[in-house]
């Protein structure tokens, strides 16, 4: 007979080793599937790396795809540290983009620096307020934040759909339901080959790391995450801390939304988020809620997506096969977190 036992004090070296083994097993398992399609697994994997980093343009695309993942994941980490399961990053991303886009579309005569700042602030505040709704009900009525935040994603997306097909529909689009493109004033400036979002992502990662690990508020977040009763016993204003923390978490997700709308899409559309909020949850978990590691995991995840697109063109592999490869790798890596927490032993 076997039993599952929780590990105690597993070293960082062993945790990393388990995750590396998970990736190796995932590649071996996926190789069987690739062989069934009549392709050489090694050639496919090398092509994925080439597709993600093989040229300056491909590298730029990989990093561009990673930026919204980094920022949204950082927002998710803040709430998850408190064990407030914010599954609403997708909706907060959309709401932030909508709020910032309002100024981009209807106040585009502002000076560019001022307009960009107003858009970023609006995105942060709107995302934060959207997150405060489930946080308020959590503190007042002990509602389930997982379900609440999940359902609010769809409300946000439907709200954006209404605007795109209705009040914000571009009258010059010949009846096609689209929102007008942003003016140059409302487009984020570039730094070299990348938009300014890359600087925001790096600064935010440093800020969140310091905030969580070296500030009084971060300590309060950790204590509530470990034991809410202990926080109450220590005299902490738990409800106030929950509201503040969720506002910051959702606000960062909203910030990611307006950056993506302005710097990449240069307009607002219902396809803007494209699952970013849900992917960010996986990245936050794989990063073990570490702000610094989030950057690396986001880039690797983005490389996997970009490489998947490349092998479709190179080998003629259907989209479904590329998705299976990505899903297999994620399945094994996420599964490794189980073995980081538990071990299987013989029941004597």
* Kind of pairing between the strands at 190-191 and 194-195: antiparallel
Q: Is the pLDDT of residue 141 over 80?
A: yes
Token pair of 182, please?
């942003």
For position 177, which CATH number holds? Answer: 1.10.3470
45: in domain? no
Question: pLDDT grade, residue 174 (50/70/90)?
Answer: confident
pLDDT given for residue 46 in this prediction: 92
Question: pLDDT grade, residue 247 (50/70/90)?
Answer: very high
230: in domain? yes
pLDDT given for residue 182 in this prediction: 96
pLDDT given for residue 56 in this prediction: 92
Structure-derived torsion over alpha carbons of residues 286, 297, 266, 251, reported in degrees to the nearest 10? 50
Burial 160-183 (b: 16+ CB within 10 A, else e): beebbeeebbbeeeeeeebbbebe
Q: Is the pLDDT of residue 322 over 80?
A: no
How many distinct structural domains can be found in the chain?
1
pLDDT given for residue 88 in this prediction: 96
The pLDDT tens digits for 260-287 are: 999 999 999 999 998 999 999 989 988 8
226: in domain? yes
pLDDT given for residue 148 in this prediction: 97
4 compared with 177, residue with greater pLDDT: 177
Q: What is the mean pLDDT of residues 211-219?
A: 95
The residue assigned the tokens 């695309």 is 61
Q: What is the mean pLDDT of residues 335-346?
A: 81
Q: Is the pLDDT of residue 83 over 90?
A: yes
29: in domain? no
Question: pLDDT grade, residue 125 (50/70/90)?
Answer: very high
- When the pLDDT of each residue in the chain is averaged and rounded to a whole number, the result is 92
135: in domain? yes
20: in domain? no
Question: pLDDT grade, residue 51 (50/70/90)?
Answer: very high
The pLDDT tens digits for 157-172 are: 999 999 999 999 998 8
Q: What is the mean pLDDT of residues 36-53?
A: 90
| Residue 47 CB contacts under 8 Å (≥ 6 apart), including other chains | 307, 310, 311, 314, 315
Q: Is the pLDDT of residue 320 over 80?
A: no
pLDDT given for residue 93 in this prediction: 98
pLDDT given for residue 33 in this prediction: 85
List for the chain the helix, strand, coil content (%; round to 5): 75, 5, 20
pTM for this one? Answer: 0.92
Domain residues for the domain of 260 are 66-316
Burial 222-252 (b: 16+ CB within 10 A, else e): ebbbeebeebeeeebebeebbbbbbbbbbbb
> Is residue 67 exposed (0-12), middle (13-18) or buried (19+ Cβ within 10 Å)?
buried
Quote the percentage of the chain above a pLDDT of 70: 100
pLDDT given for residue 69 in this prediction: 96
pLDDT given for residue 311 in this prediction: 87
Q: What are phi and psi of 263, to 5 degrees?
A: -85, -30
Q: Which residue(s) pair with 343 in the sheet?
A: 5
Report the 10 Å Cβ neighbour count for 97: 32
Q: Is the pLDDT of residue 321 over 80?
A: no
pLDDT given for residue 87 in this prediction: 96
The pLDDT tens digits for 280-310 are: 998 998 888 999 999 999 999 999 888 888 8
148: in domain? yes
348: in domain? no
pLDDT given for residue 285 in this prediction: 87
């Amino acid at each position: 007979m076997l039993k599952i036992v929780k590990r105690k004090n597993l070293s960082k070296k062993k945790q990393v080793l388990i995750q590396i083994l998970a990736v190796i097993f995932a590649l071996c398992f996926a190789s069987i599937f690739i062989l069934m399609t009549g392709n050489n697994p090694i050639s496919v994997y090398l092509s994925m790396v080439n597709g993600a980093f093989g040229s300056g343009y491909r590298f730029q695309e990989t990093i561009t795809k990673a930026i919204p993942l980094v920022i949204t994941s950082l927002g998710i980490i803040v709430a998850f540290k408190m064990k407030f399961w914010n599954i609403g990053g997708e909706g907060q991303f959309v709401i932030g983009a909508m709020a910032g886009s309002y100024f981009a579309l209807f106040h585009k005569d502002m000076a560019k620096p001022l307009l960009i700042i107003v858009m970023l602030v609006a995105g942060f505040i709107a995302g934060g307020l959207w997150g405060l709704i489930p946080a308020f009900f959590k503190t007042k009525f002990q509602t389930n934040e997982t379900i609440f935040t999940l359902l609010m994603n769809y409300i946000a997306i439907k709200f954006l759909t209404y605007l795109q097909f209705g009040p914000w529909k571009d009258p010059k689009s010949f009846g096609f339901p689209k929102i007008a493109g942003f003016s140059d004033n409302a487009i984020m400036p570039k730094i070299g080959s990348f938009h300014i979002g890359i600087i925001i992502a790096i600064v935010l990662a440093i800020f969140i790391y310091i905030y969580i690990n070296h500030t009084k508020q971060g300590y309060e977040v950790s204590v509530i995450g470990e034991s809410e009763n202990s926080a109450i016993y220590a005299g902490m204003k738990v409800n106030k801390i929950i509201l503040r923390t969720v506002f910051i978490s959702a606000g960062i997700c909203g910030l990611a939304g307006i950056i993506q709308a302005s710097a990449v899409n240069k307009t607002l559309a219902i396809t803007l988020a494209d699952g970013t909020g849900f992917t960010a949850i996986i990245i936050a978990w794989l990063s073990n809620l570490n702000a610094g590691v989030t950057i690396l995991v986001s880039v690797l995840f983005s490389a996997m997506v970009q490489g998947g697109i490349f092998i479709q063109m190179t080998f003629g592999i259907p989209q479904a096969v590329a998705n299976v490869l990505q899903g297999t790798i994620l399945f094994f890596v996420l599964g490794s977190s189980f073995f980081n927490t538990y071990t299987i032993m013989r029941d004597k």
